[in-house]
Structure 1
């Protein structure tokens, strides 16, 4: 009910339009047409671009880190430390994370001031799409490590030994054995990172405000009537669009997870 009831309310309220003068409600599909044009369309595109970029980068970096940890000589202790740290960092977000980056590499941050004084460097802006992507990677990479480590551990050593006995090279093993087995979990984890980045709000709000077009920020402005008086239902239509997109992503993630369980069973 905690999931179905809010979605049902959004599905109904998204088709209600409030007159900004008389404040009378009427049933209409105008909200759905509005969110696909103008600033709202740019907000969806901005959120999709940011989520796709951070999801791909987070998946690549997290996969590389997980593989390096599992291959380390002192893998048991290092793996325990990395997984513990990843569990903490994957849930560290919102205003504290934004403040930490502002105090570190913001315009007046400690590291920025040090690099500016010593090297004369000051070309990176934290309050941009690239800066926001960097902050998102701080919690997406640990989330990827937590998600992909069980799949890496499920690769059986006998498969590599059999490939070596048959004369396969390392590239051939990953091309025909390890790669196809890991492809579903890696793809599923990437979808999970995409959904997490797409739904993030507090970090972006505290870091860039409304200077970057993101759909979560547009929803907050609409619900608080900062754009147009009586635009609460427009915010609900934007939220319904997010629910639909996230639902499609998570449905694909569930399908990939079923394939993963079949491969690794």
Structure 2
């Protein structure tokens, strides 16, 4: 063998195949990271829903106080005052969701299309993030002190302009209060979708001779419709599940399912009323679940355009 016949290779040696135990550890680590979230969902979401599903089918005898399995609670909550409560909550949620979606969409277009730069956009989004989470007793007190029967603005308008007749303690007044946090929530939800409308699409439609109506009919509208529908469903679910603001503002004077649930669970007079409250809550969970399932389906369709 002459010198130089044996060369040194600089190519890296092939890596040894990973062992089976190493692959298992690599697959187990992500699962361990998700485990706290799964435990949280199981304890604070699945377990309460399971308890409602069981207790809704329990009935208490008013004489012997013995509990038994029955579907009487479900039949009771679908009629009478309970049915009116469901209808009132559905009407209030639908009206406020549609109004909040329209006003929030208009504000989102104004923020995205403004020429004042990112500062105004940042201020609006920051304020929306704060206002969307401002509710409950503080929000009700703020409206009572402002436009309630003895509010500052109410007294000013009555003394100066003689305006009277609007009641904050009605369904219309409660809808006005709900819009205070639903419109900012719509802005936060829909601004990314509005920003996803690329200027090149509008320029291409102008080059091809399309009018503004044709652009929104065939390009902008189909792209923006799924996120708008999804955001409206989110507003509907938020308004339907709201409790503290309505309780602090109107008490039990309006037929709302959340107020009926609270009255049933706190009743010390009617035997087995807590089971009626749980049946009401179960129906509410089913309705909100259907809405959120539709919202998830719409969000999947939206992700294709926002990617």
**What is the TM-score of this pair, normalised by structure 1?**
0.98
Residue number in structure 2 paired with 1:111: 153
Give the Cα–Cα distance (whole angstroms) in 2 for the partners of residues 227 and 174 of structure 1: 58
Residue number in structure 2 paired with 1:57: 99
Give the Cα–Cα distance (whole angstroms) in 2 for the partners of residues 155 and 61 of structure 1: 19
> More displaced, 158-167 or 90-99?
158-167
Which one of the candidate residues 226, 249, 260 is aligned to 1:218?
260
Q: Residues 49-198 of structure 1 correspond to what in structure 2 (within 5 A)?
A: 49-198=91-240
Structure 1 residue ranges without an equivalent (≥5): none
Q: 1:209 to 1:65 in 2, by over 3 A?
A: same
Measured on the aligned residues, the alpha-carbon RMSD in Å equals 0.9
Give the Cα–Cα distance (whole angstroms) in 1 for the partners of residues 136 and 72 of structure 2: 33
Deviations 1:19-67 (A, max 9, x none): 2333211110000000000000000000000000000000000000000
SS of the counterpart of 1:3? helix
Deviation of 1:227 (Å): 6.2
**Contact 1:51/1:198 (<8 A) preserved:** yes
Which one of the candidate residues 216, 236, 255 is aligned to 2:278?
236
Residue number in structure 1 paired with 2:70: 28
1:247 paired to 2:270: no
Deviation of 1:226 (Å): 5.5
Deviations 1:203-254 (A, max 9, x none): 0000011110000000000001156233111100000000000000000000
SS of the counterpart of 1:26? strand
Deviation of 1:126 (Å): 0.2
Deviations 1:147-185 (A, max 9, x none): 000001111111111111111111211111000000000
Give the Cα–Cα distance (whole angstroms) in 2 for the partners of residues 71 and 200 of structure 1: 32
Residue number in structure 2 paired with 1:12: 54
Bigger RCO of structures 1 and 2 (CA < 8 A, at least 6 apart): 1
Deviation of 1:143 (Å): 0.1
Give the Cα–Cα distance (whole angstroms) in 2 for the partners of residues 94 and 229 of structure 1: 30
The runs of 4+ residues in structure 1 deviating greater than 3 Å are: none
Aligned residues: 265
Give the Cα–Cα distance (whole angstroms) in 1 for the partners of residues 175 and 270 of structure 2: 29
Give the Cα–Cα distance (whole angstroms) in 1 for the partners of residues 63 and 169 of structure 2: 37
SS of the counterpart of 1:17? strand
**Contact 1:188/1:257 (<8 A) preserved:** yes
**What is the TM-score of this pair, normalised by structure 2?**
0.85
Give the Cα–Cα distance (whole angstroms) in 2 for the partners of residues 44 and 226 of structure 1: 23
